[in-house]
A and B are shown apart, each in its own frame.
Chain A
């Protein structure tokens, strides 16, 4: 997607997060956090010129849906584009230090995905705090990059 669309997605997920209780609604609170953070990484990667900002939406690594003039979308093969999750697909090109830190923060969040949303890992305040801390770091770094280091 284009950077503006990633930012709009982040706004939507931020709004949803405010309506959810991190413990009582953990699964969706977590999912909003993870997808919002992934949008931040994609926006930063576009800003750095590592991946292209374009209307191409991933369904699996290497496959993107590209909107056509009459409304339908065509699935095409592409090497580079938005990542579905950090590491999926892996970015082979060199990545600026701040984006590498964003990706590392997202790895901390992703580590809870299957155990906590699909498995039986205990959901507690420590898990919430770890996710929140990593997410805040990710968004702070994106904002700093997009706002010219301020």
Chain B
């Protein structure tokens, strides 16, 4: 998928995310992950780090070697997406307290990812 389509998908998910409420915290975290991953992939295509036929599914599925290679392209982007992903086991697949606040954190991280991606011309 090319960078333009990744941006369109990310923005589509963000429009849907805006319809959710505080109590929908699990889906807000998932939405942040989905949108941020589209921004990440679009950015990696823009940076020439990955071709349009090579998308990251989740950063934790990358080999360490590949994570380091992509981090060389933009470490802040990779780290922010990874931080969103790290919220999922405890608050989407787990029932630890403070889900709404954690979802707010995920949305703040998504905003950081979006800002970096737009700055990169995505």
Contacts and interface: CB of A to CB of B under 8 A. Distances in A.
B94 A65 contact: yes
A116 B60 CA distance: 22
Interface stretch (B11-19, B67-75, B76-84): B11-19
Given A119-B1, A120-B1, A19 B19 contact: yes
User: Looking at chain B, what size class is its interface with the partner chain?
Assistant: 20 to 34
B12 A27 contact: yes
Contacts of B30: 28, 31, 35
Nearest to A82: B93
A104 B114 CA distance: 37
Contacts of A58: 89, 93
A61 to B, nearest CB: 11
Contacts of B15: 25
Contacts of A29: 16
B26 A35 contact: yes
A55 B97 CA distance: 13
Contacts of B23: 12, 15
B28 to A, nearest CB: 9
Given A12-B26, A59-B60, 8 more contacts: A13-B27, A16-B20, A27-B13, A28-B30, A31-B30, A55-B95, A73-B89, A120-B5
A23 B41 CA distance: 24
A9 B96 contact: no
A133 to B, nearest CB: 21
A15 B92 contact: no
B5 A27 contact: no
A118 interface: yes
B12 to A, nearest CB: 7
A73 B90 contact: yes
Interface string B88-122: 11101111100000000000000000000000000
Contacts of A31: 27, 30-31, 34
A12 B93 CA distance: 13
B62 interface: no
B55 A118 contact: yes
Given A25-B19, A27-B12, A57 B1 contact: no
B39 interface: no
B26 A57 contact: no
B112 to A, nearest CB: 20
